[in-house]
Amino acid sequence: MTSPPAGCPEERPEPAPATAAHRLRETPWVWTRLRAAPAATLLTTVLAFVSVLLATALPRALDRGADLALREFLRAAGPGPTSLYATATSPPAKASQQDLEASLGTLRARTGGAFRIADSGPVYGARGTKPRVLANKELSVLDELPPQVSLLFLPQAGAHARLVEGRWPGGGAADGPVPVALSKSAADTLKARIGTVLKPADTLSAPITAEIVGLYTVDDPSDVFWTDLNCATRACYPNNGGWLTSALVGPDALDRLASWGSGSADFWRLPVDTTRLRADRLSDVGREVSAYVAGPTATALSQDTGRVDLRVTSELPHLFAELRAQQQAAAPLAAIGPAGVAGVALVVFGLAAGLSGDRRRAELLLLRARGGSRAGIVRRLLAEGAVTVLPAAFLGAATALLLLPTPRLGAALGAALAVTLVALAAFPVRAFVLLSAPRGPAPRRRLVAELLVVAATAAAVTEVRRRGVTPTGAGPDPLLIGAPLLIALSGALLLARVQPLVVRALAAAGARRAGVVGFLGPARAARGSAGRARPSVLPLIALLLAVTTGGFGAAVLTGVDDARTRVARAEAGGDLQVVAPPGESVPPEFARAAGALPGVRTSLGVWIDGEAAVVDAGGVATPVTVIVAEPGAYAELARTVGRGGFDAALLGGAVGGSAPVPALVSGDLPGRPPEGGHRVRLRDGTDLRVRPVAVVDGTPARPGVASATIVLPAGPVTARVPGVADATHWFAVGRADGDRVRELIRTTAPASADRYLVHTSAEVFARLDSSPLQRAAGRLFGVSVAGAAGFALLAVLLGLVRAAPERGALLARLRTMGLRPRQGVALVLTESLPQVFAAALGGILTAAVAVRLLGGSVDLSALVGATVPIGLPPAAAPVLVPALAMAVLAALAVLAEAAVSGRRQITTELRAGDQR
């Protein structure tokens, strides 16, 4: 081999061009970076998984909650209101079971689109228009009124009832009695038997009789088949008195229904399958049902069946409208919690991006100095993030989709995609900012941004307070949803300005004392870690958002419970009310035994006359309700219910001779009292002179009654009207057991126990609390508060981790100068806890301010389940509890981190070449 001439460059073989796979093996950027920081990789993966899981689960949970609320709401309404009820006059000449079935087939043919018929199937038949009063002297009477019987044809009755005596009706002579079957329960009540001929008392209709040929018993009285047909299973007690029942006839007696009932009508009840209805398709179902009731479908049905008077009715359109109104009213309140979680999660993503930026700042600047473009570096970071974020996001979304099945995907996938993009782009955006040209301090820009936030908060609060709640049908109110978060953000920005000043004052005070911890900790807290001019405001914002969201949500839930308690007590007239049947009184032995039940604090018997009147000098009578009660116990009842409160001493004292009786009068009693007081005439004709001593706003003894009221003390009135001593109502305050009270009624008044009415506030509260719409909103608030708390704690930990390297180096150096381990832990605590406690205090204040400013615009009726006055009453406990809990958890997290940081080895922190 010949050497090249001197001065000539040595010839070298050119390297073979590297393939893409070879370059990837030489510089595996993504995997190298992920292996270099396993803790950061794990944190990014977990954060992406949890965030996408929550974002995907929220719309799914809302959809499931809306569907459940719809179905439970319709189930509670019962099968009658959720059915389509068609009626038509029976044909005068060709009444037959085949005609009923043909019309049923036509009616069913128009269903199956947006709604379907329930599996229980339709119910059809024919009935007499009116019941007939019977003249049989051997039958039982009620309230001195004879029983009434209507005739009913139910071709499906044999499948839902069992014959116990005799035979099913059928046959019979055309001019003889109509064969009928009666329920065994009704026969026992009426004292009727096989062979009894039912004779109508009136002679205005055609002369006709009916003979009982069979007795049957119902297999299941709660079977939906007997809905609206209860008088066919037993003897009913109608409002106009007298027993009422229905007797079944055979198909050959269809043409005789009109003779008994002054006319007859065919009916078809089509129960809608509410278990298949979906909240997102409620509008379509409503339109189709409305067309079935009064629209093109109804017209077509009339033509197809040949019944021009066919009329279809249903309560479903009204139920749908009521449910939509409740959902729209509850939507803004339910959205406040998720909005708070989203705000805190966004802050956490910013903190995580900041932590990654601080950790890799030198690396990014080195890549930029070696010729890397910002776009190229950002692309590499996006590819690096995609390896961790995308699988975690996919797993989180899939988990939510599997755990919360629902047919709707759009909203859930959209939320998952949005959170995935935020998680993927957070660090690349932060890196792009770091690689941009450095900009000097801009205190004016920060001040302008803060003023803009405060201005937006003021505008939102002012608008919400000015116009109140969103009108019905307008959908969720973005101002009401965003106003609490804006208040929290403004509070955080204000606190970020104030906190360093306060902490510097504490540091100055600590400088005058011996020891380094008392001065150095507050000084570092005021300065911020890693040489910053001020502490990071992001952890503070996260904590305040979480505490404010939790405090406002807890205030809403507490307000809902308090409002339900007030509504329940107002509806029950206290905690428990017993109403005697008309013409009877509450047994004294029952009153004594019930008053001694465990949990009963106060009980009283009350005599109420709803047919009294105030008679003026001209003889004009004004209807009033007179209530006679013992003043002390009645005052306690009024105070508990919150209606008609007064000082019991006003009705006390002796009243001698014919002196007017002191009385409480309601404000709606017309006219001024004459010189000698009002003259009150009771329903038995007795006159009393009463002297008004106070005006009250109503009475707890007559819930829902709006008539004028007069309350009299029991002692003076009983002495003049002895019958008043027999109480018609009994009230109690305390945790009374309604079942035990009903058992006492059955023991002390066995003859008429079923006619006593028992109302308890606990049962009313349970009924209000059983609404799935309210339960879903409450659960959503609870989950949102927990999620916000978790993200807030993560924000605190990220802030601590972000400052950990610089703090660890400082502790190690101070250890070489004699700092003891306990002092190191104390130093970390005094540096980190001021922000936690400031955030807790600021969260309490911002939550209280949010309740105070926005509470007047919050309508709790949709969550309570009853109409209540608009407004959220301020309360300290709901705001303090979540704030203190958050402060304790954050303090524990700081303490744990301090214990770790304070015990790091000096040799680890002071290794050779440390540049911190």
Q: How far apart are CA 149 and CA 142, in angstroms?
A: 14
CB-based contact 232:246 (threshold 8 Å): yes
Note whether 243 and 231 are within 8 A (CB).
no
Banded pLDDT at 884 (limits 50, 70, 90)? confident
Nearest Cα to Cα of residue 535 among 796, 359, 342, 343: 796
In the DSSP assignment, the letter for residue 117 is B
Evaluate whether 216 touches 162 at the Cβ level (below 8 Å). Answer: yes
The amino acid occupying position 406 is T
- Which residue has 């709006």 as its token pair? 706
- pLDDT tens figures, 527-568: 655 444 455 678 888 888 888 888 888 888 888 888 888 999
Higher pLDDT, 362 or 35: 362
The residue assigned the tokens 């304790």 is: 888
C-alpha span between 490 and 763 (Å, rounded): 44
Q: Across-strand partners of 267?
A: 87, 125
**Distance between the two ends of the chain, CA-based, in angstroms?**
56
816-851 pLDDT, tens digit each: 777 777 777 777 777 777 777 888 888 888 888 888
pLDDT tens per residue across span 182-231: 999 999 989 999 999 999 987 655 678 999 999 999 888 888 899 888 78
Name residue 826's beta-bridge partners: none
Write down the pLDDT at residue 16.
Answer: 46
Which pTM value belongs to this model? Answer: 0.75
CA 270 and chain centroid, separation: 31
Contacts of 726 (CB under 8 A, 6+ apart): 585, 586, 607
Extract long-range pairs of 172-178: CB within 8 Å, 24+ residues apart.
172/211, 172/250, 172/252, 172/253, 176/211, 177/208, 177/209, 177/210, 177/211, 178/151, 178/208, 178/209, 178/210, 178/211, 178/249, 178/253, 178/256, 178/260
Question: In a 3-state reduction of DSSP, which class is residue 523?
Answer: helix
pLDDT at 27: 44
Within its chain, how far is the Cα of 698 from the centroid? Answer: 30
Task: Please say if the pLDDT value at position 795 is more than 70.
Answer: yes
User: Rounded distance, CA 352 to CA 48, Å?
Assistant: 11
Q: What is the CA radius of gyration of the chain?
A: 39
Question: In this predicted model, what pLDDT tens digit does every residue of 685-739 receive, in sequence order?
Answer: 888 888 888 888 888 888 766 678 999 998 888 888 888 888 999 999 988 788 8
pLDDT in tens, 640-689: 888 888 888 888 776 776 788 899 998 777 667 777 788 899 988 888 88
**What is the average per-residue pLDDT within 797-819?**
73
d(CA 365, CA 899): 33
Q: Mean per-residue pLDDT for 231-247?
A: 83
The CB density around residue 176, as the number of other CB atoms within 10 Å, is 12
pLDDT above 90 as % of the chain: 21
pLDDT digits 0-9 by tens, 53-95: 999 998 888 888 888 888 888 888 888 899 999 999 888 666 7
Q: Report d(CA 522, CA 511) in Å as an integer.
A: 10
Of 414, 335, 333, 406, which is closest to residue 56 (Cα–Cα)?
Answer: 414
| Cα gap 670→767, rounded to integer Å | 37
The answer to whether 844 and 879 are in contact (CB under 8 A) is yes
Confidence at residue 516, expressed as pLDDT on a 0 to 100 scale: 67
Give the pLDDT score at 150. Answer: 92
- CB of 98 closer than 8 Å to CB of 124: no
H helices present in 235-315, as ranges: 257-261, 282-293, 296-305
Dist CA 180 CA 708 (whole Å):
50
pLDDT band at 901; cut points 50, 70, 90? low
Section 606-629 average pLDDT: 88
Round the average pLDDT of the chain to a whole number and report it. 82
d(CA 513, CA 501): 19
Nearest CA to 152 out of 195, 216, 62 is that of 216
Is the predicted pLDDT of residue 902 greater than 70, yes or no?
no
Cα–Cα distance measured from residue 660 to residue 656, given in angstroms and rounded to the nearest whole number: 9
**Token code pair at residue 174:** 């055309």
Give 422-445 pLDDT, tens digit per residue. 999 988 888 888 887 776 666 677
* Mean of pLDDT values over 127-149: 87
Q: How distant, in Å, are the alpha carbons of 40, 538, 547, 604 from that of 580?
A: 73, 65, 51, 14
What pLDDT score was predicted for residue 400?
A: 93
**222 burial via Cβ count (<10 Å: 0-12, 13-18, 19+):** exposed
- In this structure, of 3-12, 626-635, 844-853, the range with the lowest mean pLDDT score is 3-12
The torsion angles phi and psi of 704, rounded to 5 degrees, stand at 80, -5
Reported as a pLDDT band with limits 50, 70 and 90, residue 25 is very low
pLDDT for the residue numbered 2: 44
Tokens 């109502």 found at: 729
